[in-house]
Structure 1
Amino acid sequence: MLLNSPRLVIRNFKDSDIESFLVYRNIPEVAKYQGWKIPYPRELAVQLVDEMRDVELPHVGHWMQLALELRETGEMVGDIGVRIKREDARQAVIGFTLAPIHWRKGYATEAITAVLGFLFDELGLHRISADCDTENAGSWHTLEKVGFRREAHFVESYPMGDDYASEYVYGMLQREWRARKSLG
């Protein structure tokens, strides 16, 4: 699996990504709004890399994680995931994570745009959704910048340890993607 954007190569994970992956997965401000606990163990990182190394396409009901690599330096700076929904194979969910040193540089916007192009234009999917913690302003601003529309606000709906977090759900239809693309 390989996608390109102006500054990124979006590709399968490889063994050399494990250290970078572990570093940002273990940063409290990254893990704060995610479904994993820290410390994020090396065994899980190795397992994810092994599972994702040769995945060519997203499969129904399973997450496909792709590494985000800076084209200029080859540095792995984050990842983006896609899961085709079990209940409808023409719909998918996406999620993304970046190392904090690379926040606010447009990399997430660039990666999401490339993945949306692949999912809508190449795979012909009908709808893509994404969700994020209501307190994660960086994520929901990014989703809105790319063209997602906020569809729902679920209050204290997502278990986070002993508490519950509130989340926003976003969606985009293939026709919305195409209309946005045609505008330039």
Structure 2
Amino acid sequence: MLKPSYPIRTPRLILRPFTPADLEALHAIQSLPEVTRYLYWDTRDLEQVREALEARIGESALLEEGQCLRLAVELAATGELIGDGTLFWHSSLHRSGEIGYVFHPDHHGKGYATEVGRALLELGFDGLDLHRITGRLDGRNEASARVLERLGMRREAHLVENEVVKGEWTDELVYAILQREWRARH
């Protein structure tokens, strides 16, 4: 079980639960084709974002396996919502989880995803005592692969034409890191 103490601070970011006030900023992110290009879902209109936000608001703790923790990511200096980070708790028996993140394109290439990924790995390993955490991504998403590599995760699989995403066969990459590897690095 994981009930983080909020807000979670990184050097430049604040991670916190989503609130209804995040609607417009989240819509500004989720309505962009360049944001959803490698995701399972397509761009969202305001009502679809409202529904997604309502679900996110309820995902601020991990009480049992199968749940996910979704955190709003804002710039500490300005309070601007720039993306989100997710920690999935897949199995208590296998102590496994997965991380993910999505950012507004204006904030790509600045190291924010790495900062969020580091915070999510800490939550998973230190807060939930996970043994193994993975990151899965579309094989074309080279920038996200570099983030996972910077976090010390190793590429364990390249699944060729593994899924149909938005009508197109895509490859899937799977990265992972074990708790002992994470601890050795930190």
* TM-score in same-fold range (> 0.5): yes
Partner of 2:165: 160
1:77 aligns with 2:73: no
User: Are the aligned partners of 1:157 and 1:166 in contact in 2 as well (CA < 8 Å)?
Assistant: yes
Give CA deviations for 1:62-92 in whole Å, capped at 9, x if unaligned. Answer: 3321100111100000001111114746111
Whole-Å separation in 2 of the counterparts to 1:152 and 1:118: 24
Give CA deviations for 1:105-158 in whole Å, capped at 9, x if unaligned. Answer: 111100110111111112211110011111111100000011110000000112
User: Are the aligned partners of 2:17 and 2:70 in contact in 1 as well (CA < 8 Å)?
Assistant: yes
Which letter does structure 1 place at the counterpart of 2:49? A
1:106 aligns with 2:127: no
Partner of 1:44: 48
Whole-Å separation in 2 of the counterparts to 1:119 and 1:15: 26
Give the total of aligned pairs.
Answer: 180
Q: 1:41 to 1:135 in 2, by over 3 A?
A: same
Aligned alpha-carbon RMSD (Å): 1.6
Q: 1:56 to 1:97 in 2, by over 3 A?
A: closer
User: Are the aligned partners of 1:60 and 1:89 in contact in 2 as well (CA < 8 Å)?
Assistant: no
Whole-Å separation in 1 of the counterparts to 2:61 and 2:93: 16
Structure 1 residues not aligned, in runs of 5+: none
User: Are the aligned partners of 2:99 and 2:121 in contact in 1 as well (CA < 8 Å)?
Assistant: no
Q: 1:174 to 1:116 in 2, by over 3 A?
A: same
Whole-Å separation in 2 of the counterparts to 1:55 and 1:137: 28
Percent identity over paired residues: 37
Partner of 2:140: 135
Structure 2 residues not aligned, in runs of 5+: none
5 Å matches for 1:15-94?
15-38=20-43, 40-58=44-62, 59-86=64-91, 88=93, 90-94=95-99
User: Are the aligned partners of 1:153 and 1:169 in contact in 2 as well (CA < 8 Å)?
Assistant: yes
